[in-house]
């Protein structure tokens, strides 16, 4: 499996961090050191690794954790963000039928295999890919792509024996009437030589591909950056396809080097099989390395509460009105089953179970009842006594018991919010004295 070592290394570092009871300078340094080791053994450029670890350390120590995140949870989030930055922002290759993709690259980098992989990939997406073999250099090139195209049942064009690559491409496009997504496999040379570049340029000018993609062998590690840069200067490369990342310990180096040279990696090849192609998206990639489930929950936790911070502060300070209950019910229903929502919050376990079991139908009744209340009543529910209960229940078409139950629910919540607010203050105070408690 590709990147298994990198993933395990990162996950181990995170597991150790999570075990830490106190998150202080020493813990952060140790964690950052572990991350450094993992990245360097994955061939990421030492300078980049040090820059990244400095940022993780600084942010981990100085940044106020957003939302409900603890300090070590925030460190994991920061690591994720910095790794995504290191590998470049996600951007999809935008192509459609009628476009032409040309693959270029040095000999043996994986162009022919990748051309077929790409054709299968877009076929599965509902496009109509077609393959042209424009490699006149290697005698077996025609047979190789023909066979692959038969395997994936994609139309193929080639002219064995013809040495004029440009003429073959033109004939192919004619034969396909310019329709479908035309993928052109070109020839490779020993290394990046001027002759190859001249050929590519000649074809490039005549064909004007919609996208020119550079196929790079990922096993060369950091060297991928230099190649990517050279090709980009020589011809108009739109992006990179990094191959052979399976089983290569240098994958991290190749990926980060491409990002560092502003060469967008669109796809990665992770095996010899035709399906071993993945669209590269740094966010998805890093979250998978770190452990997807873990990270998703964490990011949501940070986001979710960011939005509600004001309301939460107000509620916890004891200023809790029926309006808060109203919006709380709305939010909870948006988020899903209440039990699940509560489990995500650090104080979740403390919420009495009867509150969690509050049925949907009851919440709906509560909302209807609140719709029949005046602003004054919403702000100050203590005003709601016998006559008002009668009026509200009649206006809303619910039983007076429902209104009473709502008021009881409100009182219980208000009390709970106050207790939690006090606990939060306590926790903050402990943190200030360097007694921060871990996850």
Given the rule CB under 5 A, which residues bind Mg ion? 111-112
CB 184 within 8 A of CB 210: no
Residue 381 tokens read as 């529910």
Select from Mg ion, ligand GTP, none the partner in contact with residue 244, using the beta carbon and a kind-dependent cut-off of 5 to 8 Å: ligand GTP
**Size of the chain, expressed as the number of residues it contains:** 439
Rounded least distance, CB 299 to ligand GTP, Å = 30
Q: Is the CB of 104 or the CB of 259 nearer to ligand GTP?
A: 104
Sheet holding 277-279, edge to edge: 156-157, 129-134, 181-186, 100-104, 211-217, 239-243, 265-269, 277-279
Select from ligand GTP, Mg ion, none the partner in contact with residue 108, using the beta carbon and a kind-dependent cut-off of 5 to 8 Å: ligand GTP
Choose which of 90, 93, 99, 108 interacts with ligand GTP (CB under 6 A). 108
CB 45 within 8 A of CB 256: yes
Q: Round to whole Å and give the CA distance between 208 and 202.
A: 10
Q: Round to whole Å and give the CA distance between 292 and 288.
A: 5
The region of 78-86, 267-275, 387-395, 412-420 touching ligand GTP under the rule CB under 6 A is: 267-275
The region of 59-67, 204-212, 222-230, 269-277 touching ligand GTP under the rule CB under 6 A is: 269-277
Please report how many Cα atoms fall inside a 13 Å half-sphere around the Cα of residue 31, on the Cβ side: 31
Q: Is 21 exposed, middle or buried (0-12, 13-18, 19+ CB in 10 A)?
A: exposed
Q: Is the CB of 6 or the CB of 148 nearer to Mg ion?
A: 148
Q: Check binding of 232 to ligand GTP (CB under 6 A).
A: no
The three-state secondary structure class of 143 is helix
Q: Check binding of 135 to ligand GTP (CB under 6 A).
A: yes
Rounded least distance, CB 430 to ligand GTP, Å = 51
Total residues in contact with ligand GTP, by rule CB under 6 A: 20
- DSSP label at 272? S
The three-state secondary structure class of 263 is coil
Select from ligand GTP, Mg ion, none the partner in contact with residue 276, using the beta carbon and a kind-dependent cut-off of 5 to 8 Å: ligand GTP
Q: Round to whole Å and give the CA distance between 273 and 10.
A: 28
Rounded least distance, CB 95 to ligand GTP, Å = 20
Q: Check binding of 72 to ligand GTP (CB under 6 A).
A: no
Q: Check binding of 120 to ligand GTP (CB under 6 A).
A: no
Select from Mg ion, ligand GTP, none the partner in contact with residue 149, using the beta carbon and a kind-dependent cut-off of 5 to 8 Å: none
Q: Which residues would be at the binding site for ligand GTP (CB under 6 A)?
A: 105, 107-113, 135, 138, 141, 188, 243-244, 246, 269-272, 276
């Amino acid at each position: 499996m590709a990147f298994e070592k990198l993933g395990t290394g990162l996950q181990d570092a995170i597991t150790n961090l999570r075990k830490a009871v106190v998150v202080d300078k020493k813990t952060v340094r140790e964690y950052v050191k572990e991350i450094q080791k993992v990245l360097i053994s994955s061939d990421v450029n030492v300078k980049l690794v040090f820059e990244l670890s400095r940022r993780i350390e600084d942010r981990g120590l100085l940044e106020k954790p957003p939302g409900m995140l603890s300090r070590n949870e925030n460190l994991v989030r920061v690591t994720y963000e910095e790794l995504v930055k290191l590998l470049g922002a996600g951007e999809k290759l935008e192509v459609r039928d009628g476009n032409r993709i040309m693959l270029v690259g040095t000999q043996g980098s994986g162009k022919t295999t990748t051309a077929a992989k790409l054709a299968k990939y877009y076929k599965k997406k509902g496009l109509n890919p077609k393959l042209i073999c424009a490699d006149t250099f290697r005698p077996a090139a025609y047979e190789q792509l023909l066979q692959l195209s038969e395997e994936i049942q994609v139309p193929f064009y080639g002219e064995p024996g013809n040495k004029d690559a440009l003429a073959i491409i033109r004939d192919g496009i004619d034969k396909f009437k310019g329709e479908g997504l035309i993928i052109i496999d070109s020839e490779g040379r020993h290394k990046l030589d001027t002759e190859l570049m001249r050929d590519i340029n000649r074809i490039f000018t005549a064909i004007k591909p919609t996208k020119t993609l550079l196929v790079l062998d990922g096993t060369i590690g950091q060297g991928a950056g230099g190649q990517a840069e050279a090709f980009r200067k020589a011809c108009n490369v739109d992006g990179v396809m990094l191959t052979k990342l399976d089983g290569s310990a240098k994958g991290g180096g190749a990926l980060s080097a491409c990002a560092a040279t502003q060469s967008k990696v669109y796809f990665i090849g992770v095996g010899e099989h035709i399906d071993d192609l993945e669209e590269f998206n740094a966010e998805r990639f890093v979250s998978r390395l770190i452990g997807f489930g873990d990270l998703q929950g964490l990011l949501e936790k940070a986001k979710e509460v960011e939005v509600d911070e004001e309301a939460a502060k107000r509620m916890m300070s004891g200023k809790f009105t029926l309006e808060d209950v109203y919006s709380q019910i709305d939010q909870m229903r948006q988020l899903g089953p209440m039990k699940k929502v509560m489990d995500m919050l650090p104080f979740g376990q403390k919420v009495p179970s009867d509150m969690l079991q509050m049925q949907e139908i009851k919440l709906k009744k509560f909302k209807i009842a609140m719709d029949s209340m005046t602003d004054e009543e919403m702000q100050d529910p203590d005003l709601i006594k016998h006559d008002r209960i009668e009026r509200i229940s009649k206006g809303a078409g619910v039983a007076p018991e429902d209104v009473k139950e709502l008021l009881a629910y409100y009182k219980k919540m208000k009390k709970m919010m106050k207790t939690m607010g006090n606990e939060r203050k306590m926790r903050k105070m402990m943190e200030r004295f360097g007694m921060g408690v871990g996850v």
